[in-house]
Structure formats: structure tokens, C-alpha cells
Amino acid sequence: MGFRLRVLRAFVLLAGFFLMGFVLLAAMGVLDWLLVTRVFVDRAEWAAATLVTVTLMVAVAILQGMLAFLRAGRLETERHAVAVGPDDQPELWDVVRAAAAATGERPPDELYLDADVNAGVTEQSRLLGLLPGRRRMYLGLPLLAGLTVPQLRGVLAHEFGHYAHLDTRLGGVIVRGRAAVLHTVDVFGRNDTWFHRAAGLLYVTYAHLFLRTSQAVGREQERAADRSAARHAGRDATAAALRALPVLEAAHDHYLTAYAGMGEPVGALPQPGEVYGGFRRMVDARSPEGVAELSAGRRPPRPHRYDSHPPIAERVAAVEALPDDGRATELDDPRSALTLLRHAEEVFTALEACTLPAEAVGLPRMDWDDLVMARAVVDAEQWARPLRVAVARAVRAEGADTGGAPAGPVEDDALPGLEDVLDAFDRGLLWGEIAERMPRPHQAARLTGASARTFMRPRVFDGLAGLVHLRLVQGGQATPDVAWAGRPGLALPDEWEQGMDDALDAAVADTPDSAPLRALLAGVGSGSTADPVVSAG
């Protein structure tokens, strides 16, 4: 079935959706009239009132779905973004206008920069989307940070390609109708009366038929927009931009977890402009292959059964199958699309102001080095705490067995330091007493002997490593490493980088040997490890 026939079929189904609504409304109106004037006249007024109330609730659900479609294109979901005018960002506007001219479309009336790894165009259209209206374009700052200028041209040409064909004008109406259909089905799903379930089943069945048809329309729109992008921005640039999208999404997820969210446990944020601006530093510090590694092994998200976008791999293959247009040399421009922005730091700061939740506004701000150090200390304390608590309890139990005071609750200020932990290991308490007092999952609670040691050894190792990190920080021998090309953490002296793991392995062996670790510690100043070394305040 051709695209025009699919659009026509979807349009007929959409009209049928509204016709079904009008028929149900009329039928319920007749039913209510008969109930009131014929069936329950002069008796059982409560039954009539109940049934009329139910039918009115169903009628409201149907009307809400109809109104949702009538308002589609004029009412938009609120989006947090920074508006930039031609005077603010002339270079970016020039590229946007050039893409619009290349596709034969008028440029957007408004341009916004947001925090998504995406781009999009909306239009406040009229008459069910058939008449054009005010256009808005949204560009994600992470997208600009990760794409080159030629790749950005491909993305822009794709977005304008959605409006460059007469085929998509009617198709746009159909896609808008999806929102109304889904809204109506959702309203029925939130009500649990038998009448709602009966009417809802009718709507759900009809909606599935409509969504399957409109999905084909939406997917053909995406393919048409890809062809338009390849025609106006170049085949290779378009394919490169499509391949980059899932890679950038994975890289951005990594950045949000490893960097932007680094200060959550310490109650702090990066410096103004760096919450989003740090992503460009991570991308710039890595080679393209290094950025791609962040998506290696990542399973693509499971597509929705009615997803209007074809899989990226399928879209890339379709673009690469197009004839060579001789424009491959345009990819030689290595400039980041972010270079089109003037005063990028101010834009990143402005985006934080309109996107960060109110509770984050008052958080202290820290340089990346201080933030890495504070997070490393908090992590080390968390790793070490289960081991320190277990050692304290084992030592108290040992004292009680020799006539000392009975074991009681362990206070934080009474937790043992690194030397105390090693002393307990040397006395043979690790696998007899300490490991048994460390938390373990329910499924491993009954493990004993070699199986228990194998399961608990990594947890003891991590706890001991946390204590060592705290000691090195206090001794001034561990420094923060933002590691934009790797993972943030602590940079340790060479002798520790080379010998720490072996020394820790020896200390947590079946027969613990703390001598290698003590030898390394001989050159580090001693001190308490119970208190945080760096404070976010």
C-alpha cells in the first residue's frame, strides 16, 4: 500500500473515531431520555440517577478525546529551554536559515536550546493542522556538543524535511490524531465501572487499528525526512548524524551519572554552567572511538509497538543505500557544532536556571576537582563502613570472651581505624568473626567455608580499599582526577598504583598477610579515618 493510500486510510479511520464518538453520545442521550421518561418514571429515581451519571462520565471521556485533537498543534507540553534570537546567536541562526532555504521551507519564528540529545520543530497550526502557524525549533545543547557542523546540517535538514512534502501535510493531521486517540483510551482506562470498561474495550480495539495504520504514516514521514536531509545536506553527513544519535545518547547518560550527578551524595553541584557544560569537556577529551565505547554493549531501548520512528539502523542503511552525491569531503570539517554558539558558558548557565528543580538552586557549587575529591571520600567511607562496624563488633565479642565488657551498639566515633582493622586480621578474626558480621544478601546467608569466603572476599577487599583511600587523602598523597577521558576518581602515587591491589589481596587471603600493605603505609602519615576529609559545605 502506497503512502498516500495509507494516509487516506488513516484519515478515514480517524474520521471513524470521531463518528463512533458522536454515535455513542447520541445513543447515550437517547438511553438517558428513555430511562427518565419511560422506564423509571415515577419510581426508582435513584437507579435512573445512577445510570445517567455513568453515561455522563462516559460522555465526558469521549468529549475530552475530541477536544484533545481539536487543540492539537496549538497547545504544547511545557518545555524548559533557553530562547535565543538572531542577534544573540547569529552564526547558529545562519545555519538554521540555510537549512530551511535548502529544503524550501520557511525558518522557525523562535529558536530554543534545551538539555535533550535531540532536535525538533513544532508548529502552532490552525484548522486541525491544515493551515500553517508559528514555528518553533528546539536544539539540544548536548546534540550541539557531540555533532560536527556538517552533521548538524543533516539534522536540521531532516527536521525541515518534515514540512517539505505535500504528502506530510495531511500525514501531520493523522499523527496529531494519535494524541487524541491515546488520550481517550487513557481516560477510559482510569475508570473502573463496567460501563467504562465496555465502552473502553470498543475504543481500545478501534485505537489499535488506527495506531497501526498511523504508525506506517509516521514511519514513512521519517524516511521522507531522511531522504530530504540526504538530498540537501549530503548523504554521508546525514548517515553520520543518524549513527551519532544513539552514541551521543549513551555518552550523555554516562555523563549525567558519572559527572553531573556526582555531587548528589555530598549535596553539591558543579560550578554554574558546568551541570550541562561539562558534557562538552567529556566529549572533547575523548576520541570519536572513545565516545563510541560508552555505548558498546548497550542494548538499544525496546521499541514501542506503535513507535512512529523506524529503528536507527534501518534508517542509516536506507540513507547509505542512496547514490553517492560526491559530498563526502564536507565531512572533513571537524568543527563542533557548539562552536556556532557565542558565549556558550552563559547559555549553559541560563539553561540551568530554567531546568534545575527549586531544591537544587540553593545547593553549594564546587569546582570539578573539589567535587571529585568530596565524592571519592564519601564513597570510600561507604565502602569502609560495613567492614569497620564488623571489626568493632568482632573485637568487642573477643573482649567479652576474655572477661571484658559485653558487646553493645557501635557508635560512629568508636569505629576502628585502618591499623586496628589490620591488627584484627592478624589475630585471625577475619574469616572466623569479622566476615560473619558483615551484611550479605539473603540468598548467601547460609554459605559457609570456602564458598562464604569467595562470596565475601570482594566486600572485604572494597572495605579495606576504602580505608586506604581515606588514609591517602588525609596524608595528602591522593589527588582528584576528573578523568574526562575515563572515570573520575583518585590519582594515587605510583607505588600505590603498582602495588595496592596485590597488597590488598594478601591482606584478605584465606591466611591474611598484612605485611605488604603495612609496608606501603609506612610512608603515609597516620591519622583518624572516621571523619570526612572534604566537606561540600
Q: What is the pTM of this model?
A: 0.77
Q: 82-83 and 110-114: which strand pairing?
A: antiparallel
Q: What share of the chain is helix, strand, coil (3-state, %, to 5)?
A: 65, 5, 30
Which residue is associated with the grid cell 536556571?
353
Tell me, what's the pLDDT at 209?
72
* DSSP H or E run through 7: helix 3-34
Tell me, what's the pLDDT at 8?
61
CA distance 495 to 479: 14
CA distance 305 to 275: 35
Tell me, what's the pLDDT at 50?
74
Alpha helices in 35-148 (DSSP H): 45-70, 90-102, 141-146
CB 233 within 8 A of CB 153: yes
Picking from 174, 195, 163, 190, the residue whose alpha carbon sits closest to that of residue 28 is 195
Tell me, what's the pLDDT at 370?
96
Beta bridge partners of 119: 139
Picking from 138, 184, 243, 199, the residue whose alpha carbon sits closest to that of residue 14 is 184
Angle, vertex CA 360, rays to CA 359 and CA 363, nearest 5 = 110
Tell me, what's the pLDDT at 7?
55
**Mind listing the pLDDT tens digit of every residue in the chain (537 residues)?**
454 555 566 567 667 777 777 887 888 788 777 777 766 655 566 666 777 777 777 777 677 666 655 554 444 445 689 999 999 999 999 999 999 998 888 899 999 999 999 998 877 766 555 566 788 899 999 999 999 999 999 999 998 887 665 434 445 556 566 666 666 666 666 666 665 666 667 667 777 777 676 666 667 778 888 898 898 889 999 999 999 999 999 999 999 999 999 999 999 999 999 999 999 999 999 988 899 888 876 666 665 565 667 788 889 999 999 999 888 877 888 899 999 999 999 999 999 999 998 888 889 999 999 999 999 999 999 999 999 999 999 998 877 665 554 555 656 667 899 999 999 999 999 998 898 899 887 777 777 888 888 889 999 999 999 999 999 999 899 999 999 998 999 999 999 988 999 999 999 999 999 999 999 998 776 544 444 444 444
Q: 269-270 and 110-114: which strand pairing?
A: unpaired
CA distance 192 to 410: 52
Annotated domain spans of the chain: 23-73, 81-168+229-356, 368-398+410-523
CA distance 169 to 429: 76
Q: Which three cell numbers stand for residue 309?
A: 520512528
Torsion angle in degrees (nearest 10) through CA of 369, 374, 379, 384: 120
What's the distance, Cα to Cα, between the start and end of the chain in Å?
65
Q: Which three cell numbers stand for residue 474?
A: 588525609
CA distance 303 to 119: 19
CB 453 within 8 A of CB 430: no
CA distance 165 to 312: 22
The number of beta carbons lying within 10 Å of the beta carbon of residue 197 is 13
CA distance 227 to 211: 24
CA distance 72 to 8: 20
CA distance 389 to 294: 37
Name, in order, each residue with C-beta under 8 angstroms of 507's C-beta and a sequence gap of 6 or more. 422, 425, 464, 513, 514, 516, 517
- In this structure, which amino acid lies at residue 126? R
Handedness of CA 4, 7, 13, 15 (dihedral sign): negative
Q: Which three cell numbers stand for residue 272?
A: 554554574
Q: Which three cell numbers stand for residue 161?
A: 524535511
CA distance 397 to 433: 9
Name, in order, each residue with C-beta under 8 angstroms of 292's C-beta and a sequence gap of 6 or more. 247
Task: Count how many Cα atoms sit within 13 Å of the Cα of residue 537 in the half-sphere of its side chain.
Answer: 2
Tell me, what's the pLDDT at 215?
67
